Chain A
Amino acid sequence: RKEVEQDPGPFNVPEGATVAFNCTYSNSASQSFFWYRQDCRKEPKLLMSVYSSGNEDGRFTAQLNRASQYISLLIRDSKLSDSATYLCVVDNAGNNRKLIWGLGTSLAVNP
């Protein structure tokens, strides 16, 4: 099993749609979890950290399921500007010393 695994997509959705991404991780002792967003040939940017209780930031909701070892990202009312690659990132060592990155899920929001 890969350390961090994501469906690469691409996900093609119309504006206004709700879309969900899942990510599985192999290390049950993983400490912290993140979703980053990356635009083509740009640097990754933190979208949100993922907390055990789940967390929401505007149209974005992140969930963590430790028992099944996956995290999810839900985007509601998707915008054209949400088109990007969404990277699942797991910190196994604690304090972000060695983040493990997924390959990313590509999202295209169409008018």
Chain B
Amino acid sequence: EPEVTQTPSHQVTQMGQEVILRCVPISNHLYFYWYRQILGQKVEFLVSFYNNEISEKSEIFDDQFSVERPDGSNFTLKIRSTKLEDSAMYFCASRVVGATNEKLFFGSGTQLSVL
């Protein structure tokens, strides 16, 4: 089965530093997403991306966050100045089209630890 790839698997950073989380969605997919999950809490939607622009974002996705698709394969999430509360598992996901009930493919996640 095709896979969404995320790197790094674990990122440790100091508070206030910038981090970039990387994702390679499945090649023929058109919709991309970032979710996060704080330890012991539920999965939370951050942002969706289609046709080279953000299609929807949550309240969590403030000015500290940005997403980019710098080339035909990578999809990145940047956190400009990390805070302690940004520590979480960040999941990238993708799917082919925007159909109802369509399967979402998740990457294995990046565990971000902000110290």
* A, B bound: yes
Which A residues are closer than 8 A to B by beta carbons?
31-32, 34, 41-46, 49, 51, 87, 91, 93-104
Q: Is B101 an interface residue (CB 8 A)?
A: yes
Interface of A is mostly: loop
The 8 closest A-B pairs by CB, nearest first: A95-B98, A43-B106, A101-B43, A103-B42, A49-B101, A101-B42, A97-B56, A32-B100
Q: How many angstroms from the CA of A100 to the CA of B43 in the assembled complex?
A: 8
**A34 — nearest CB in chain B belongs to which residue?**
B101
Known: A43-B91, A103-B41. A96 touches B58 (CB 8 A): no
Interface digits, B90-104 against A, CB 8 Å rule (1 contact, 0 not)? 010001001111111
Interface digits, B20-60 against A, CB 8 Å rule (1 contact, 0 not)? 00000000000100000000011111001000000110100
Tell me the total A-B contact number using a CB cutoff of 8 A.
56
CB <8 Å contact, B104 and A98:
no
CB <8 Å contact, B100 and A94:
yes
Give the interface residue-count category, chain B. 20 to 34
CB <8 Å contact, A43 and B107:
yes
Q: How many angstroms from the CA of A102 to the CA of B108 in the assembled complex?
A: 19
Chain B residues near A101 (CB-CB < 8 A): 42-45
Q: Closest CB-CB distance, A44 to chain B, in whole Å?
A: 6
Known: A32-B101, A87-B43. A97 touches B108 (CB 8 A): no
